[in-house]
């Protein structure tokens, strides 16, 4: 059957007609000369929205995290981060490969939070046997804990613990607007406690490419140097940034629909035999659930035959709602899932 519903990720979203029009009409210039007015507008608007001095348009969330870490920690320095976070698990060790930065992972709780006690204990004393600890990295929403939205209070506690040791704090906010929308708060409440933050345009905001990194002006200057070292100084990239400007105006509030759809999906799936899922834990657009050990790939393959595309796995699967998914797609998915789980059982 042709795939009708693609729940692999919110990265599969396609630009809206309004974005395509803005891209077509975008005013452009050479961004390496800082001459692209559309990129400049996007960077300013993103920084203003997140309450920071300046912004830098980067290729991806991974690159935003990478240049942020490299601009704040030198070769031989250490960063503290959660053991389930994206930087540690899914960015191919880039900060170590390219920057010689040591990653020190600490146990993440089921909501994606690191306790102040763990942070205090992780910071190294001044001792030439140890790498100097420079930076704490946190993640909101937290992908591997089913998109848990960290609160401003969680964020402040973690940041205060880091600051007590003179560390800086970076927030990987690939889905930061999901976190703000789900709590009905201004995104600035989630960024005020941290020094630097990224968010992705290419996920729930539905742009084709890009992320924005924000922080103070000196930091952004240094991050721009690292972006150049990584070969990602871009030229007339206003054609892409134009979609980002549209997204910041028109794609944030609608994420509430993705959260409603995710909840409906979670509630339906949780009723099926063989599924481990507490729908009460789902508060943004990521729905992770347990399936019988070793059955994940089979379930994904059978779902595809039913017209629903999800990633495989062993005993942990994920479905992601987004701009391309409506309530009927959720009904369709639940029907397919019911059929597939009865076959697997
Ligand atoms: C929490 C988090 N951070 C960073 C990234 C990386 O983003 P990108 O795929 O644009 O490199 C992702 C991607 O899924 C993510 O979930």
Segment 133-150, tens digit of pLDDT: 999 999 999 999 999 999
Q: CB under 8 Å to 159, separation ≥6 — which residues?
A: 136, 169, 193, 194
Asked whether 133 lines ligand 1 (CB < 6 A), one says no
Fold of 5-12+254-344: 3.90.1150
C-beta of residue 265 within 8 angstroms of C-beta of residue 272? no
Q: For the segment 43-91, what is each residue's pLDDT rounded down to a tens digit?
A: 999 999 999 999 999 999 999 999 999 999 999 999 999 999 999 999 9
Ligand 1: centre distance to CA 257 (Å): 21
CB of 146 sitting under 6 A from ligand 1: no
| CB neighbour list of residue 104: distance below 8 Å, 6 or more residues apart | 78, 79, 80, 81, 122, 133
- Per DSSP (E only), the strands in 148-257 are 168-173, 196-200, 211-215
Determine the residue of 12, 59, 60, 61 to mutate for testing ligand 1's pocket, defined as the one with the most ligand atoms within 8 A of the Cβ atom.
61
139 lines ligand 1 (CB under 6 A): yes
Whether the model clears a pTM of 0.95, i.e. scores above it, the answer is: yes
Q: Check if 284 has its Cβ closer than 6 Å to any atom of ligand 1.
A: no
Confidence of residue 345 (pLDDT cuts 50, 70, 90): confident
Q: For 17-250, which CATH class? A: alpha beta
Domains 5-12+254-344 and 17-250 share a fold: no
The domain ranges of the chain are 5-12+254-344, 17-250
Write out pLDDT tens, residues 275-333.
999 999 999 999 999 999 999 999 999 999 999 999 999 999 999 999 999 999 999 99
Confidence of residue 213 (pLDDT cuts 50, 70, 90): very high
Residue 174 phi/psi, 5° resolution?
A: -45, -40
- The rounded mean pLDDT for the chain is 97
**Would you state the pLDDT for residue 307?**
97
Return the beta strands (E) in the chain as ranges. 5-6, 54-58, 78-82, 102-106, 133-139, 168-173, 196-200, 211-215, 286-290, 308-309, 316-320
Query: Is residue 144 lining ligand 1, measured as CB closer than 6 Å?
Result: no
Q: Is the CB of 202 under 6 A from ligand 1?
A: yes
Atom of ligand 1 nearest to the CA of 172: 3
């Amino acid at each position: 059957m042709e795939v009708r519903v693609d729940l692999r990720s919110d990265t599969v979203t396609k630009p809206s007609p309004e974005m395509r029009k803005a891209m077509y009409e975008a005013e452009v210039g050479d961004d390496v000369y800082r001459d692209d007015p559309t990129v400049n507008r996007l960077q300013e608007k993103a920084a203003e929205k997140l309450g920071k001095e300046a912004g830098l348009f980067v290729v991806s969330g991974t690159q935003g995290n990478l240049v942020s870490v490299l601009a704040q920690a030198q070769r031989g320095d250490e960063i503290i981060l959660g053991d389930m976070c994206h930087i540690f698990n899914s960015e191919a060790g880039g900060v170590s490969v390219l920057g010689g930065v040591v990653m020190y992972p600490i146990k993440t709780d089921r909501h994606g939070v690191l306790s102040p006690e763990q942070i205090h204990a992780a910071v190294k004393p001044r001792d030439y046997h140890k790498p100097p600890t420079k930076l704490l990295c946190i993640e909101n929403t937290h992908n591997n804990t089913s998109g848990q939205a960290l609160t401003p209070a969680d964020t402040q506690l973690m940041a205060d613990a880091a600051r007590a040791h003179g560390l800086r704090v970076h927030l990987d906010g690939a889905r930061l607007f999901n976190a703000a929308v789900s709590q009905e708060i201004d995104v600035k409440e989630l960024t005020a406690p941290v020094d630097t933050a990224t968010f992705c345009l290419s996920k729930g905001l539905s742009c084709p490419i890009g992320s924005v990194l924000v922080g103070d002006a000196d930091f952004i200057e240094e991050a721009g140097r690292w972006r150049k070292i990584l070969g990602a100084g871009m030229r007339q990239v206003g054609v892409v940034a134009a979609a980002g400007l549209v997204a910041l105006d028109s794609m944030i509030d609608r994420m509430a629909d993705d959260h409603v759809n995710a909840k409906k999906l979670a509630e339906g799936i949780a009723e099926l035999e063989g599924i481990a899922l507490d729908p009460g834990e789902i508060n943004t657009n990521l729905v992770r659930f347990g399936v019988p050990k070793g059955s994940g790939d089979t379930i994904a393959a059978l779902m595809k035959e039913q017209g629903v595309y999800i990633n495989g796995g062993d005993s942990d699967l994920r479905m992601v709602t987004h701009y391309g998914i409506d309530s009927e797609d959720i009904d369709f998915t639940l029907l397919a899932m019911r059929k597939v789980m009865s076959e697997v059982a």
